[in-house]
Structure 1
Amino acid sequence: MSAENHDPLAGFDTVVHAPNRLRICALLDTAGEAEFGLVQQQLALSASALSKHVTVLMDAGYVEQRKAVRDTRQRVWLRLTRRGRVAYQGHLAALRAIVGPTDPPV
């Protein structure tokens, strides 16, 4: 692999970078899969705001949803796709490259 293909800034992803989309990706990366209402509650977003951000992530192929009935109600579960996980991890690497190494506390 050449040095030009290993540029950590190449992973910077404007789709993921928006603060709420970054938070959604972080939550789903940790949780694996989460119910829409839980994501909404954890991130303190309105349903419409969350829906808009999830739609952008879905259009990019980064998030997929699964609908299921639970407690007699239709629920929507969200999860990162493999592509979304790669994009999120690449974006984190790019952000770390931008801010540089942090010195450990003395």
Structure 2
Amino acid sequence: MKNVTTSESTINISGLNKLFNHRTRMGIMALLMVSEWVEFVSLRKTLKLTDGSLASHLKALVKEDQIAVEKKFINDKPRTSYRATAAGRKAFEAHLTELEAFIRQIDN
């Protein structure tokens, strides 16, 4: 990312993780941070997304090893669940810390 110049100073936002800048991916990570595993259907309903939209954002997070996926059958029906990986938790917490610091700088 880049530095943002305000009337008083320069604010560094380079610590923000581009992967989490989209509201959908931020929402996914927020939900996975407070739950061990969350099913695809629950994510879709909670975030009010289409299957395709949710799937594309989940794919991006899986590709970057921020979340893990588990596919299984329950009563002969497929169930796909997701959880934040250790790396994903660490990266998301760092992103939130940077976001909080950014907001504090703007508020001052």
Same fold (TM over 0.5): yes
- Between 1 and 2, higher relative CO (CA 8 Å, sep ≥ 6) is seen in 1
Separation in 1, partners of 2:15, 2:83: 20
Compute the displacement of 1:17 (Å).
Answer: 1.6
State the shift of 1:35 in Å. Answer: 0.5
Q: Quick check: which one's strand share is greater?
A: 2
% identical aligned pairs: 26
Distance 2:64 2:44 in 1: 20
What's 1:82 paired with? 86
Give me the TM-score of the superposition, normalised by structure 2: 0.82
User: Match for 2:61: what amino acid?
Assistant: L
> Which of these residues, 92, 99, 104, is aligned with residue 103 of structure 2?
99
Cα distance in 2 for residues equivalent to 1:12 and 1:87: 10
- In the alignment, which residue of structure 2 is the partner of 1:3? none
**Number of equivalences:** 95
Q: Displaced runs of 4+ in structure 1, greater than 2 A?
A: 8-11
From 45, 48, 51, give the equivalent of 2:49.
Answer: 45
Equivalent position amino acid for 2:36 in 1: G
CA drift at 1:11: 3.9
Letter in 1 for 2:65: G
- The aligned counterpart of 1:72 is 76
Aligned twin of 1:31: 35
State the distance in 1 between where 2:14 and 2:93 align: 12
CA RMSD across the alignment: 1.8
Matched, 1:63 2:67: yes
Structure 1 unaligned blocks of 5 or more: 1-7
Gaps of 5+ in 2: 1-11
